[in-house]
Structure 1
Amino acid sequence: MSALDRWAEQLAGWAIPEHILEAAPESPFALPRNVFVRRADRQLGGPRTPTHHAVLAGLDGGGTLLDIGAGAGAASLPCAEAITHVTSVDTNLLPEFADRAESLGLPHRTVDGHWPQAAEQVGSVDVAVCANVLYNVADLAPFVRALHERTRRRIVVEINAAHPMTGMNPLWQRFHDLRRPDGPTADDAVAALRELGVQPEIVRWQKKAVPTPFPELVETTRKRLCLGADRSAEVAGALRGTTPGIRHMTTLVWSPERTR
């Protein structure tokens, strides 16, 4: 099996069984908007990450930036000093992104859509950044191809070292007697990219996970587990005493010119 096929197969394994999904009183796929807003505001007020440094190096003092799956701008807006124009592609938080770009005096445009379908609405840019999106992309080839077609200098991809939902695996076992996958990982993403001719620079780093307010954590976890509000106390009991810990991250950097 090719690395690309293995990537897609492992992601398909995360599908929620139909009988559980049909019984869910609320969608398990929607995260509270304030999760992404807090993340962006925290990055704007905190130290830069290796992802930000890679973006800044690509902008080289001034250039245009594309942020795919931008949320409220956590991956791009901390680099505002070197951005001459930024385009955000997202489906949920475009107003929040625009508000923060405006507060920074940053020329910007928002595009409502998913990549690569939204690529037709985006012009050429100097640098593209894509943070915490790849685990939602089963078909990597058209995603990466569209990045190469739109980007001149540098592509920067941030990804958790392990699938971000693996931390909930014990809870799925507890509440549904369901064994969840443990892959793919960032290393699987690298293997798949290499099959596409990409040889990325790999930067591995860590950051302390920021605690979510406990009531919000309970409700978000309950919904992700496809449980009703009547199970909130049980979920709270399962989560009580847990700590955020350390998040292991990977930043992948490459030049599209070298893969054309």
Structure 2
Amino acid sequence: MDEQWRADLERWSIPEEIAARAPADPWGHSSARFAERTDRALAAPEGPTLARMAEALPPGGSVLDVGAGTGAASLPLAPDLGELIAVDVSDAMLAELASRAHALGVPTRFFRGRWPDVAAETPVADVAVAAHVVYNVPGLAGFLAELTGHARNRVVLELTGQHPMSWLNPLWQHFHGITRPGRPTAHDVIAVAEGLGYEVHHEWRLAPLPRFTRLEDLAESACRRLCLGRERADEVIAAVIELDMWPVPRDRWFTLWWESK
């Protein structure tokens, strides 16, 4: 199942001839935008992912947040959190997380790198979480095994039901004549985890906020993801209207969890 996952994920790669013309990294993320999401999560902490983490976290316990970003998945647990262990590849993301953790009084240790490459140097925690990370992980079985090995009580994942770039599929066809794949999905993640022997529980909900509130924001993001220059934003907006893509439907967010002991 892990090989199937790897093959399905590989089909999401951008053809070299298109990527070569990209004016900006099509896979890049804005730490400022991630920080806004974290601030919203801190202002109104809710949702099944947070609940599944909280019920497995002892008072003053520790959380390992892999692909932590700016801390949206873990920092809302601050009142009960004795230590946060944050892993991420981005210095900018970890800097945003550090400032918020300091303001909340959460002791934090940082490990810059890709999981599971840095697993050997990362301590065990009571709860391990990876939120909106797995679609960037070709070797999913090894990723999940190390995550489980670093959790005393529970592993929690949060992810979209389909690849997070699936909303762009009609635009890939429109601008590049490319049909994007339908897999992998959250159910494939479940299959990989169950193949490792974990008793996986799951639930889903609609994403708490729309992906975009303005067409202009959609166009800016789409231009980057589609390897188009910003000067083509009006073309993107016209295509979105023509293809009846606005407003963009909210994603389904899945929460997966299993006990690690």
TM-score normalised to the size of structure 1? Answer: 0.93
Mapped partners of 2:158, 2:253: distance in 1: 7
How far has the Cα of 1:212 moved from its partner? 4.7
| Per-residue Cα deviation, 1:50-72 (whole angstroms, up to 9, x for no partner) | 00001111103331111111111
Could you tell me which residue of structure 1 aligns to residue 258 of structure 2? 254
Q: Which amino acid aligns with 2:117?
A: Q
Aligned-pair CA distance for 1:213: 4.7
**Aligned position for 1:205:** 205
TM-score (norm 2): 0.92
Aligned length: 255
Who is 2:7 aligned against? Answer: 9
**Is residue 213 of structure 2 the alignment partner of residue 215 of structure 1?**
no
CA contact (8 A) 2:161 2:254 kept: yes
Show the counterpart of 2:126: 126
Amino acid paired to 2:24: E
Residue 42 of structure 2 corresponds to 44
Distance (Å, rounded) in 2 between the aligned partners of 1:165 and 1:147: 25
Aligned CA-pair RMSD: 1.6
User: 1:55 aligned to 39, 53, 56, which one?
Assistant: 53
Q: d(CA) in 1 for partners of 2:240 and 2:31?
A: 21
**2:59–2:82 CA contact under 8 A, matched in 1:** no
Matched, 1:245 2:246: no
SS at 1:217 equivalent: helix
Equivalent residues in 2 for 1:133-144, closer than 5 Å: 133-144=133-144
1:219 is aligned with what amino acid? E
For residue 162 of structure 1, give the secondary structure of its aligned residue in structure 2: coil
Cα offsets for 1:33-63 (capped at 9, x unmatched): 2221111111111141100001111103331
Match of 1:91 in 2: 89
**Paired residue secondary structure (2:118):** helix
The structural deviation recorded for 1:214 is: 4.1
Q: Distance in 2 between matches of 1:47 and 1:106?
A: 16
Q: Counterparts in 2 of 1:130-209, with a 5 A limit?
A: 130-209=130-209
Q: Which of the residues 30, 33, 36 maps onto 1:32?
A: 30
Give the aligned residue type for 2:134.
Answer: L
Q: Which segments of 5 or more consecutive residues in structure 2 lack a partner in the other structure?
A: none
Instruction: Report the identity percentage.
Output: 39
Q: Which SS does the other structure have where 2:130 is aligned?
A: strand
Question: What SS does the aligned partner of 2:20 have?
Answer: helix
Gaps of 5+ in 1: none
Distance 2:201 2:208 in 1: 23
- Which residue does 1:108 correspond to in 2? 108
